[in-house]
Amino acid sequence: MWTYEKKLEYPINIKNPNPALAKFIITQFGGPDGELGASQRYLSQRYSMPFNEAIATLTDIGTEELAHMEMICAIVHQLTRNMTMEQIKEAGFEAYFVDHTAGLYPQAAAGFPFDALCFASKGDAITDLVEDMAAEQKARTTYDNILRMVDDPDVIDPIRFLREREVVHFQRFGEALRVVQDNLDCKNFYAINPEFDK
């Protein structure tokens, strides 16, 4: 089970609201490479995963992604607080505002809502861990793209932290994949699926 810790993993204090940034940063909440999809992908894959190292990796990274989802929501919230109608119109934030006011709703930068199709869970240890490594790289690219468009140091700092965690998670999933492969037939990793065949 889970318990809530009443703190962010990394501090966020954005002095200047800026809904134009919130419009695309929200993609890391509800977009295809966002933190919501990441957390549910890893936590769903745990149950049939063989080998304790990989189960612990999925559990702990899946849990950390929940903390990252909270950080993204905190960033979007701070960027959209105390908005005037003029700021909303200037930033092109009208469409989101009409549907959700300044509430948090999981959607991609392009405006489409969260879709569970993005959290792959295939029930095959190699397939899922390779998926997870790619997912971390996709999220890292997304953070790199966000950093190209942001000039507020209060936003850059926590986004850089989140980007760095994607790199670390990629390394840890790579090690978990190695543990799985070390437990398989080295001449043919695909001779069996260790999540299904006994």
Partner 1 sequence: MNGRDEMLKKVQKLNFVMIDTGLYLNNQPENQAGQALFSKYQALHRQAKEEFEGAYGPLTYGGINTECDGWSWIKNPWPWEVED
Looking at beta carbons only, is 143 or 173 nearer to partner 1? 173
Provide the residue type at 164 as one letter: E
In this chain, which stretch among 9-17, 44-52, 64-72, 164-172 interacts with partner 1, using CB under 8 A?
44-52
Looking at beta carbons only, is 4 or 188 nearer to partner 1? 4
Looking at beta carbons only, is 4 or 148 nearer to partner 1? 4
Query: With 0-12 CB in 10 A as exposed, 13-18 as middle and 19+ as buried, what is 21?
Result: buried
Shortest Å, Cβ 60 to partner 1: 8
Provide the residue type at 184 as one letter: L
- The reply on whether position 46 binds partner 1 by CB under 8 A is yes
Alpha-carbon distance of 48 to 164, in angstroms, equals 29
Cα→Cα distances 7→4, 11, 12, 87, 188, Å: 9, 9, 11, 30, 46
In this chain, which stretch among 35-43, 48-56, 158-166, 188-196 interacts with partner 1, using CB under 8 A?
48-56
Among residues 119, 131, 118, 133, which one has the least CA distance to residue 168?
A: 133
The DSSP bridge partners found for residue 173 are none
- The reply on whether position 9 binds partner 1 by CB under 8 A is no
- The reply on whether position 67 binds partner 1 by CB under 8 A is no
- The reply on whether position 138 binds partner 1 by CB under 8 A is no
7, 15, 52, 187: which one contacts partner 1 (CB under 8 A)? 52
Shortest Å, Cβ 47 to partner 1: 6
Task: Identify residues 75-104 at the interface with partner 1 (CB under 8 A).
Answer: none
Among residues 127, 59, 72, 82, which one has the least CA distance to residue 104?
A: 72
Alpha-carbon distance of 40 to 12, in angstroms, equals 24
Task: Tell me which residues touch partner 1 (CB under 8 A).
Answer: 1, 3, 46-47, 52-53, 55-56
